[in-house]
Amino acid sequence: MNKMPDTLWAKSNRILTLEKHLLDAEQAAQQIFRLNGRWGQNWCRFFQIRGEENQQKFLLNLQVAALFHDLGKANEDFYTAVTSPGFLPQVLRHEHLSALILCLPEVRTWLSHNSVLDVDVITAAVLSHHLKASKDEKTTPNGKSYRWCQPQSNKPLLELYLMHEQVARTLDTIAQVANLNTTLSLPTAAWKPGSVWDKTYRSGRSFADRFSQSIRKDKDRQRFLVAVKAGLIAADAAASGLVREKKKIAEWIESVVHSEAIAPNEIADKIIQPRLEQIKAKGLREFQKQLALQGSKALLLSACGSGKTLAAWKWAEVQSQTYNLGKVIFLYPTRGTATEGFRDYVGWAPEADAALITGTARYELEAMRDNPEEESKQAAIAGKIFRTEADERLFALGFWSKRFFSATVDQFLSFMEHSYQSLCLLPVLADSAVIIDEVHSFDRSMFDTLISFLQTFDVPVLCMTATLPKSRRDELVAAGLQVFPTEADREKLDDLKEKEEAERYLLEPTENFDAAFNKAVKAYQSGLRVLWVVNTVDRCLAISQALKTRLKTTVLTYHSRFRLCDRAEVHKRTVLAFAPQKDEPAKAAIAVTTQVCEMSLDLDADVLITEIAPISAMVQRFGRANRHLKRDFAVLHVYESPSNLPYSKEELSAARTFLDELGTARISQYRLAQALEDHSRHERNADGSSPFLNSGYYATPGSFRDTDEFAVPCILDEDLPEVKAILDSPQKHEKERFIINVPKKWATQRTDEHHWLPKYLNVAQWEGHYDESRGFVTKDLQEVDLG
């Protein structure tokens, strides 16, 4: 056996001992979730841990898990890794060893002396706190296997330092915290095949299997488990991050976590009133006031342009007065919609309170700040580039102090798929009123997660959309949401009824592409704003080029294959071209887009042309026309696409039946919503499961959205020198402006030459393929079949 070192370290900087880190994590757990504080109470409410006795049990189990979680770092490999840079891979992950220690019969017996301790819950939390523990050989997206106690090298033996005085003192601390009178000695044997540790591992696998069966039947224990699991991740993140930043844990938690709750008039003063003044509204409409009275679980179904967002903020104000909350979170399906939500609402709050969280938030905020056309207040909004968020070592902790959020739904709900950053944000979510917009756009995986979230957790939630298939609405109702407005409500809400029943569209199906093309040309030449929506990028590009040739004018082109910097510019130009004019007639404009327009663009077209698409998609596309009722009606032309893709034959068949029933007529948003309910295809129901709830001892990251293997993120080859310079600078996030999603077959093979690029980024060719105003082109546009 090698000589046991005098000091065991927790981190590679060797300024924090293992014992001190374990104590820090326990202190963070106790202070963040103390039961006389708002976060502790809201955390227990969120996980439905009712009653003082059960809440005390939660906190004790969390504290014990925190003291155990890194005990496995007391081994020779970890010590060498933190003291000798460049050391080869460790035989076993440290948290795998920590859990293995908890499976020793003498440890389980010792902990069982306090009947309040749930040893399986503690073991599960410890094993999975880095989200790198699986039952089998299944590989993760990065190609690694995290099977519990699978050796990562051929080294036959691993010395353990479980007799170290730091370990002994930690066990004494556990005994004090958990009121355990007996002492405990751990084995001195090294880990190796055939040792006592082999038998312990086999026992641990059996414990894990029995525990998994138990939580499937016992939902209270399941919620208790995930409360401890997520609590340990948050406490460990705080303890690690704050020490690295040289912050005092107790002081930081007291000032950030235990700040004042939202005051009764705070949302009105900081969000609602400034927005009303900006849009020159006299006040809230009656339906917006009525939504606020619908309770803590609501589903708002209201037409495009009816004022859902202001209504949601009024609902949040009432929730903050009903519950003791510190946050409001507005969740959107895309980065574009989240950014617009920040710009229009959240950004009015003071800098210390407001947050935009998307994968590219820093770039979006800087783009706002640099936009000379913004009003002075909007420029101030854009200046809110949050300094704590810029320090990536603190991960989500930089947002714990914020009060009002606009974010993509992934940032907060992907904890259900074991996203580390989302789990670090979970204490924020539990302290919030949550609004989830555009729920119609969720793919099946996202919608399953939403249903599981609604069924499991107790948090004020408002879901919103203009239209929703009946099967999905029924699922949301079954998950606890109350629909507003009902038919009875609508009869009493004249302002809403007027907007929804206004016959704002004239539906005129078109024979084919050629007829649609001629209508687009004629409408533009008549001075109208024409929006053309197609189902694929290739057809978007080809139609745009054909219109440009015919009209001899600029044709706006918007789809998903732009660099972020160019996409932001195209987005801005398209919105401005279709924006309602205050004092002068609108100017003619023409744009060709893909499905991105269904949510990301606030457009007001006079004429809308679209390929046939699934019913819900077409209804959303129709909502981009006559949005603000500035005309008697907008004309809608629908024609057959040359292929079903990217949709199924069944989806398009249902859409044809939908259009046949509508006929050729003036129609309202309300009529569209009714027809959508009648003709949408029935979907299977969500089963309420999720990896976060069902994984028991284990946890590895999954995918929140249905994966799209067709496109991959790339850097164009001409941008590589500038991106390399950025990655060598403190402003590494600036690389985001150059990222573009390109079809996989057009991404070139990575070579050693590109070793400096982050592994998730590929390289694509600029020459012959890319144009700042058109995006990435993959084929000769003359050869694209337009129908």
Q: What is the pLDDT of residues 742-754, one digit of tens each?
A: 988 888 866 678 8
Structure token pair of residue 677: 């309910």
Name which of 3-7, 249-253, 269-273, 362-366 the model is least confident about: 362-366
Per-residue confidence (pLDDT) for residue 707, from 0 to 100:
58
- Mean per-residue pLDDT, 438-449: 90
452 CA to centre of own chain: 15
CA distance 548 to 550: 6
Report residue 390's pLDDT band, with 50, 70 and 90 as the boundaries.
very low
Per-residue confidence (pLDDT) for residue 583, from 0 to 100:
65
Residue 312 buriedness (CB in 10 A; 0-12 / 13-18 / 19+): buried
Per-residue confidence (pLDDT) for residue 395, from 0 to 100:
56
Residue 367 has pLDDT above 50, yes or no: no
Q: Which residues contact 257 (CB under 8 A, 6 or more apart)?
A: 31, 32, 37, 39, 400, 427
| 500-679 shares the fold of 18-256 | no
Residue 737 has pLDDT above 60, yes or no: yes
Mean of all residue pLDDT scores within the chain = 88
Helices (H) and strands (E) in the chain, counts: 35, 20
Which strands make up the sheet holding 747-748, listed edge to edge?
A: 739-743, 711-716, 762-764, 747-748
What's the whole-model pTM score? 0.87
Question: Would you call 689 helix, strand, or coil by DSSP?
Answer: coil
Instruction: Give the side-chain half-sphere CA count within 13 A for 549.
Output: 9
Strand 762-764 to 747-748 pairing: antiparallel
Q: pLDDT tens digit string along 310-362?
A: 999 999 999 999 999 999 999 998 887 888 888 888 988 888 899 888 865 55
CATH of domain 266-494: 3.40.50.300
Per-residue confidence (pLDDT) for residue 394, from 0 to 100:
58
- Mean per-residue pLDDT, 249-274: 94
Per-residue confidence (pLDDT) for residue 361, from 0 to 100:
54
Per-residue confidence (pLDDT) for residue 233, from 0 to 100:
95
CA distance 167 to 185: 10
Strand 770-771 to 775-776 pairing: antiparallel
CA-based nearest residue to 243, from 20, 7, 19, 6? 20
Cβ distance 606 to 559 under 8 Å? no
Element (H, E) at 444: helix 444-456
Structure token pair of residue 512: 């084919």
Delimit the domains of the chain by residue range.
Answer: 18-256, 266-494, 500-679, 711-783
Per-residue confidence (pLDDT) for residue 366, from 0 to 100:
47
Top pLDDT among 585 and 217 is at 217
Strand partners, 56: none
CA-based nearest residue to 412, from 355, 347, 467? 355
Q: Looking at domain 500-679, what is its CATH homologous superfamily?
A: P-loop containing nucleotide triphosphate hydrolases (3.40.50.300)
Q: pLDDT tens digit string along 182-235?
A: 788 899 999 998 899 999 999 999 999 999 999 999 999 999 999 999 999 999
Residue 381 has pLDDT above 60, yes or no: no
CA-based nearest residue to 396, from 419, 363, 364, 373? 419
Strand partners, 529: 589
Residue 159 has pLDDT above 80, yes or no: yes
CA distance 675 to 659: 9
CA dihedral 749, 751, 755, 760 (to 10 degrees): 10
What kind of architecture, by CATH, is found in domain 18-256? Orthogonal Bundle (1.10)
Sign of CA dihedral 266, 267, 273, 274: positive
CB atoms within 10 A of CB 164: 20
**Alpha-helix residue ranges (DSSP H) falling in 481-594:** 487-492, 494-501, 513-525, 537-551, 564-578
Report residue 494's pLDDT band, with 50, 70 and 90 as the boundaries.
confident
Name which of 137-141, 379-383, 543-547 the model is least confident about: 379-383
Residue 442 has pLDDT above 60, yes or no: yes
**Alpha-helix residue ranges (DSSP H) falling in 286-334:** 286-291, 308-322
Scan for tokens 């590009």, then name that residue: 541
